[in-house]
Amino acid sequence: MAQSAIPWLRRTQPSSRPTVRLREPWWLLSLPLLLFLTLPIIAIFLRTPPAHLLANLRETQVIQAVGLSMVTTGITLAITVIFGTPVAYLMARYDFPLRRAVDTILDLPLVLPPAVTGVALLMAFGRRGILGSYLEIMGVSIAFTQIAVVMAQTFVAAPFYVKAAILGFSSIEPELEQAAALDGASGRQIFRFITIPLSWMALLSGMVMTWARALGEFGATIIFAGNFPGRTQTMPLAIYIGFELDLDVALTLAVILIGFSFLVLMIVKGILRSDLQT
């Protein structure tokens, strides 16, 4: 099978990895970072007794925030796949002027502080923004709506999918697609039956990264979409505001966020792993 070009997928087969012995120096050297990453997560769970957790799950604020986060991240993911896939294919298959500039634009949201993203979105799509002021005349107001939440999430999270898809598409031998074309397959058929099946692992892992990043989006959202319970208050915003008023609500949401993210990442890794082994 074709090896994925994504570093963490391009690895030795699981069976070829020996089990690490406790005396192994690599194991000891790995401990500090692993402990550092695990301890805060464990602390959150320890500070939240299960009884509190269940009681807080019924809080309107919690239900609203969880629901809003699920809906908006779902829409973000769909938009990213629909509009990101063509960009990724273009980047993987074709050479064109300013290609490097386009590639850098795709990298930029990954390094920009989310607060900068929020301000930039306001300057573009806010009521006084370069585009937003025209939309305002047409009676469309984006800031402080769920559209703004999705836009903030898409801006910061879409590059994860696009970058992964570019690597996925690039790892397919062009000869395979050319051979299919010689056999009379149409461009659509090639994409559907050759390109997608051969790169779906990369696409899936990109989708997970985008979804996870969108779920955790905070800075751009609170600046561009504001904070209104049930309308624009996603889980990270509710955690931030809740931290100041009701630590219990914040901890409950944090536990849900961590638990859910962990579960989804594990499941997807499981799918990818079983696929690698076949």
Partner 1 sequence: MQKKSFKMLGGIVVLLILGLIQWATSTVLGAHPLQSDACTEVYTVQADDWLSKIADKFLGDALAYPIIFEATNQQHTVNDTFALIENADLIEVGWQLCIPSSEQAELLLAETSAAPVALEPADLTVFAAASLTESFTEIGQNFETTHPGVHVTFNFAGSQQLAQQLGQGAPADVFASANNTQMGVAIEAGRVISGAQQTFVRNRLTVIYPVDNPAGLSQLGDLANPDLHLILAAAEVPVGRYSLEFLDKAAQAPDFGPTFKDQVLNNVVSYEPNVKVVLTKIALGEGDAGIVYSSDVTPDVADQVGQIEIPDALNTIAAYPIAVVSDSRFPTQAEAFTEYILSPEAQEVLARYGFISTVGNIAATP
How far is residue 229's CA from residue 61's CA, in Å, rounded to a whole number?
7
Residues found near partner 1 in the complex (CB under 8 A): 122, 126-128, 141, 143-144, 222, 225-229, 232, 240-241, 243-245, 247
Q: How far is the CB of 185 from partner 1 (least distance, A)?
A: 51
Do 193 and 90 touch, CB atoms closer than 8 A?
Answer: no
How far is residue 176's CA from residue 120's CA, in Å, rounded to a whole number?
42
Q: How far is the CB of 43 from partner 1 (least distance, A)?
A: 12
> Of 143 and 158, which CB lies nearer to partner 1 in the complex structure?
143
How far CA 1 is from CA of 48, 168, 183, 275, in Å, comes to 45, 13, 22, 10
Q: How far is the CB of 131 from partner 1 (least distance, A)?
A: 14
User: Which DSSP letter does residue 14 get?
Assistant: G
> Of 206 and 216, which CB lies nearer to partner 1 in the complex structure?
216
How far CA 187 is from CA of 86, 148, 168, 179, 256, in Å, comes to 13, 36, 18, 12, 43
Q: How far is the CB of 140 from partner 1 (least distance, A)?
A: 13
How far CA 68 is from CA of 29, 64, 143, in Å, comes to 41, 6, 16
> Of 229 and 260, which CB lies nearer to partner 1 in the complex structure?
229
Query: Which residue has 């406790």 as its token pair?
Result: 22
**For residue 98, what are its two tokens?**
């300013």
Q: How far is the CB of 138 from partner 1 (least distance, A)?
A: 15
> Of 11 and 127, which CB lies nearer to partner 1 in the complex structure?
127
